Chains A and B, each alone.
Chain A
Amino acid sequence: MANKLKLSLSPHVHSGDSVSKNMRWVIIAMLPAMLWSFYAFGLGAVIVTATSVASCVFFEWAINKFILKNDQCTLCDYSAVVTGILLAFNLPANLPLYIIIIGALFALGVVKMTFGGLGCNLFNPALAARVFLLISFPVKMTMFPEVGQMTAYADAVTAATPLANLAKTDLMPLFMGNVGGSLGEVSALCLLIGLIILIATRTITWHIPVSILATVFALTGLLHIAYPVEVATPWHHLFGGGLMLGAVFMATDYVTSPMTAKGQLIYGFCIGFLTVAIRVFGAYPEGMSFAILIMNAFVPLINNACKPQRFAKEVKK
């Protein structure tokens, strides 16, 4: 009997939380936006999503097995699936397969596994891959199929992102998702449903998404008052382009975001600020992915600067 007993330090119970549980909630939260993309872009969206997820999972498995010789099954934590879906969310629905596969290889091979796998990467893999593809294939990555071409894929009729002409776009289609764009970013409504799922299940806290959205709304609001013709309304900026997708699913990535509430608020504010700066004053119509990647690099500094409120320090009476 006695030699069967286990000895270990307390605590002897666990919350039951796990990496895979959190990742599953992220996937569930992405479902509304994913289903909307299937509805809006039809076959093309299905092909892009399937290719992206399959190649991300394959590359994670292959790199673990053949290069790192790591027997641990890291696929079970679903993080490669999350990266795959997020990458697809950032791509147009008519993108050729080889570009998607290159993107997946960059995301997993360069951005994630090189640094040691889940938890060790400095940058958000899906987002870094998107920017890599944007710079490598600038035309294919910025021409988006128009909504409602259910059976089209490579032959879909395309147009530039509505962001290029944001002020002239109607607000309602922008909110619902009846506009061109990359798969996951078009429907602000579906992304907001995802946000509610993430916060309700305590997968993430409100700090990052709310601070980004509030910053963008406030800054574009001020700019719109100052330049009513050149700058679109804050609502357009909020619902248009990749802002909502970035705020809900990209910037909130555990690994590449700050650890304390204070740090997260600073991080969110800076992302919002950079996004508006690039959108309004920069050469690119979209600034969200650049803003997040730039701030990813600052996360270690933010973590050092923003300590949590220690017990009994600066006690408020």
Chain B
Amino acid sequence: MKTFRIGGVHPAENKLSAGKKIEPMALPKQAVFPLSQHIGAPAVACVAKGDMVKVGTKIADAGGFVSAAIFSSVSGKVAKIDSIIDASGYRKPAIFIDVIGDEWEESIDRSEELVTECALEPAEIVAKIKNAGIVGMGGACFPTHVKLTPPPGSKAECVIINAVECEPYLTADHQLMLEKPEQILVGVSLLMKAVNVTKGYIGIENNKPDAIALMREKAAKYPNIEIVPLKVQYPQGGEKQLIDAVIGRQVPNPPAIPIAVGAVVQNVGTAYAVYEAVIKNKPLFERVVTVTGKALANSSNLLTRMGTPMNMLIEAAGGMPENTGKIIGGGPMMGKALLNAEVPICKGSSGVLLMTEEESVRGKEQNCIRCAKCVGACPMGLEPYLLAKLGEYNDWERAENEDIMTCIECGCCTFTCPSNRPLLDWIRLAKNTVGGIIRERNMKK
């Protein structure tokens, strides 16, 4: 079984919502669209208060090349352009739309009919993806058209689809593969065509044997697409780890990007969004979100319009349990704890996880016993115990020399520490500070 070569851990999988059919969510009364839902420049609103919009109407233009347009997921009237605290915890400008009916743009093909043929040229595919506002849907939200535009001098050799879903609890990608395998495969071939490669891989963790079998069966018609079962090991879905596992190449440290080893990595949800955008003219305004938690009555996979507040999803899954101690946007390993449940679903919202009060309490911190379990767990080959100490002692220079900037913040070190030390907290502090120092130095040059 293929896997990445360094480190890794195996958290309890807790896939409570596995096998639950994707159900469409009811429409919210008001939908909220933060203008910054992606990595790069924020989008620029192109509607004003009082404007009427339909489902699929563009409401914000991309604010640069590394940016993405935003489309309304509802029909109705723009109530205001204000700000909201989003999943990142920061207050950000957002467009508020009061929902009236459910009227779609005519250009969107709403039929279920599967279309596999596409006569578009690569550049046209990329343009369509860009014009649909598609970003990486695994959580990092990097604009997809940028990844499909290799910088001069580099050449893509293969497309790797990230269908690993290595985060515990989350099942949105898994269920999407079970329900839309053919559409995903068309999306993958479109992505391959867009970057002009003849080889595609779909990496799936081995805890989803039904998805592996189904995708294999459907992929028989696509000789260039290979389904790659992967060992259940976190962070198998980390971009660098996935490339290492699937094609055995290690992406060099930043500023190198995956294209340096010929790989273009896209999430499986992104591949589905690409199918809908290119074939069905449907911009990205809805996605599958896993709503889950041990105390939640009915963990589910919900097809949710962007801008829907998370508490509506929680209501749909049985209501907020009395003993909720933490609400997490995303999975438990890399997701963010949220200030409240008003936060709207965005392009990168793969899940909403409710943890009980008991689960939300960190263990008591003890002295480092130098057991080296963090060193063994780190998938980047770093020494987390040392980096955390350097962070604590503000030794930024040594932290840089110890390669702190290559940390992917996967959380394996904190997860594994028997002394309950908040290793990643310190490492993040040091990494941010060192990153600032490096930027300052580069500016002086």
Contacts and interface: CB of A to CB of B under 8 A. Distances in A.
Given A10-B333, A11-B424, A312-B240, 20 more contacts: A2-B339, A4-B357, A5-B327, A5-B337, A6-B360, A10-B332, A12-B332, A13-B11, A13-B12, A14-B417, A17-B416, A18-B418, A19-B369, A19-B419, A22-B371, A205-B376, A254-B372, A259-B375, A311-B244, A311-B250
Interface stretch (B186-194, B201-209, B381-389): B381-389
A252 to B, nearest CB: 10
Interface in A162-208: 205
Contacts of B250: 311-312, 315
B320 A1 contact: yes
A12 B409 CA distance: 13
B200 interface: no
A310 B333 contact: no
Interface in B312-360: 320, 324-328, 332-340, 353, 355, 357, 359-360
A13 B415 contact: yes
A304 to B, nearest CB: 10
B403 interface: yes
Nearest to A3: B340
A5 B369 contact: no
Nearest to A299: B370
A77 B333 CA distance: 27
B416 A12 contact: no
B337 A12 contact: yes
Contacts of A311: 6, 240, 244, 250, 253, 379-381, 406
Given A119-B369, A259-B385, A310-B380, A7 B339 contact: yes
A317 to B, nearest CB: 8
Interface of A is mostly: loop
Contacts of B409: 10
Nearest to A205: B376
Given A12-B326, A312-B252, A19 B425 contact: no
B267 interface: no
Interface in A1-41: 1-2, 4-15, 17-19, 21-22
A133 B422 CA distance: 39
B337 A11 contact: no
A107 B337 CA distance: 44
A118 interface: yes
Contact of A6 (B240, B335, B337, B370): B337
A8 B375 CA distance: 23
Contacts of A317: 248
Contacts of A118: 366-367, 369
14 contacts: A5-B339, A7-B89, A9-B337, A10-B411, A13-B415, A15-B9, A17-B373, A18-B420, A22-B369, A22-B418, A119-B366, A311-B240, A311-B253, A315-B249
A120 interface: yes
A257 B367 CA distance: 16
Given A2-B339, A5-B327, A259 B334 contact: no
The residue among A4, A119, A308, A317 with the most chain B CB atoms within 10 A of its own CB is: A308
Contact of A116 (B9, B338, B367, B372): B367
Contacts of B151: none
B332 A13 contact: yes
A5 B325 CA distance: 5
Contacts of B251: 312
Given A310-B406, A311-B406, A12 B324 contact: no
The residue among B11, B240, B371, B425 with the most chain A CB atoms within 10 A of its own CB is: B371
Nearest to A8: B337
B42 to A, nearest CB: 24
B252 A10 contact: no
Interface size range of chain B in the complex: 35 or more
B332 A19 contact: no
A65 interface: no
B240 to A, nearest CB: 7
Interface of A: 1-2, 4-15, 17-19, 21-22, 77, 116-120, 205, 254-260, 307-313, 315, 317
A254 B371 contact: yes
The residue among B240, B248, B324, B369 with the most chain A CB atoms within 10 A of its own CB is: B369
A255 B417 CA distance: 14
A254 B376 CA distance: 13
Contacts of B422: 9
B224 to A, nearest CB: 23
Contacts of A14: 362-363, 414-415, 417, 420
Nearest to A120: B367
A303 B298 CA distance: 49
Contacts of A17: 373, 416-418
Contacts of A1: 320, 324
Given A5-B338, A312-B251, A312-B252, A15 B11 contact: yes
Contacts of B381: 308-311, 313
B368 A119 contact: yes
B261 to A, nearest CB: 9
Interface in B290-326: 320, 324-326
B168 interface: yes
A7 to B, nearest CB: 5
B428 interface: yes
A14 B417 CA distance: 8
The residue among A9, A11, A15 with the most chain B CB atoms within 10 A of its own CB is: A11
A154 B325 CA distance: 60
Contact of B414 (A11, A255, A308): A11
Contact of B383 (A10, A259, A315): A259
A123 to B, nearest CB: 13
B359 to A, nearest CB: 8
Contacts of B336: 10
Nearest to A258: B372
Interface string B402-445: 01001001010011111110101100100000000000000000
B380 A10 contact: no
A260 B12 CA distance: 26
Nearest to B367: A119
Nearest to A22: B418
Contacts of A21: 418
B256 to A, nearest CB: 8
Contacts of A5: 324-327, 337-340
A215 B180 CA distance: 58
Contacts of B366: 19, 77, 118-119
A8 B338 CA distance: 9
A295 to B, nearest CB: 15
Contacts of A119: 366-370, 419
A11 B406 contact: no
A301 B317 CA distance: 55
Interface in B155-175: 168
A255 B369 contact: yes
